[in-house]
């Protein structure tokens, strides 16, 4: 049994084992670690730590208003994507789409994993 001595990947001196990265043993000596520390700290601070917050769940009435304004503005909207974004069930979103289509004379197109609500051309 032999003892494996870690050598710094930068300068080659005896160092501290950091672990395996992409299948290679990585070690750093204390001098190189001190030189890299401020740059690594700046990288950590610049990296976002949290994912962007999801939109809050809304009531079906608010969702209906949002869908109506979006379709008026854009001309069409994928109801199922919007429902997922705002925490509304797919069944409720389908009901809202049918109600809006009936009220405003819009068209509903169904495709795989899509339910488009459109203004008529």
| Cβ atoms of 82 and 69 closer than 8 Å | no
> Looking at residue 50, what is its pLDDT?
73
Higher pLDDT, 87 or 121: 87
pTM listed for this prediction: 0.54
DSSP state of 14: B
Angle (CA) 65 57 79, round 5°: 50
Virtual CA dihedral for 77, 83, 88, 90, nearest 10 degrees? 90
pLDDT at residue 21 is higher than 80: yes
The answer to whether 32 and 15 have CB atoms below 8 angstroms apart is yes
Distance CA 46, CA 103 (A): 49
60-118: CATH class: mainly alpha
Select the more confidently predicted residue: 63 or 2: 63
At 23-53, the pLDDT tens digits run 888 999 999 999 999 999 998 888 887 766 6
Residue 54 confidence (pLDDT): 65
User: Which residue ranges does the chain devote to CATH 1.10.10.10?
Assistant: 60-118
60-113 pLDDT, tens digit each:
899 999 999 999 999 999 999 999 888 899 999 999 999 999 999 999 998 888
pLDDT at 72: 92
Output 54 or 85, whichever has higher pLDDT. Answer: 85
């Amino acid at each position: 049994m032999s003892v494996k001595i870690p050598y710094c990947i930068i300068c080659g001196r005896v160092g501290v084992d950091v672990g395996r990265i992409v299948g290679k043993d990585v070690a750093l000596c204390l001098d190189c670690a001190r030189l890299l520390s401020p740059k690594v700290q700046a990288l950590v601070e610049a990296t976002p730590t949290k994912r962007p917050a999801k939109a809050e769940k809304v009531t079906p009435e608010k969702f209906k208003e949002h869908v109506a304004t979006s379709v008026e503005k854009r001309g069409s909207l994928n109801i199922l994507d919007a429902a997922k974004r705002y925490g509304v069930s797919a069944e409720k979103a389908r009901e809202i789409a049918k109600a809006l289509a009936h009220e405003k004379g819009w068209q509903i197109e169904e495709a795989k994993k899509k339910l488009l609500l459109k203004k008529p051309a």
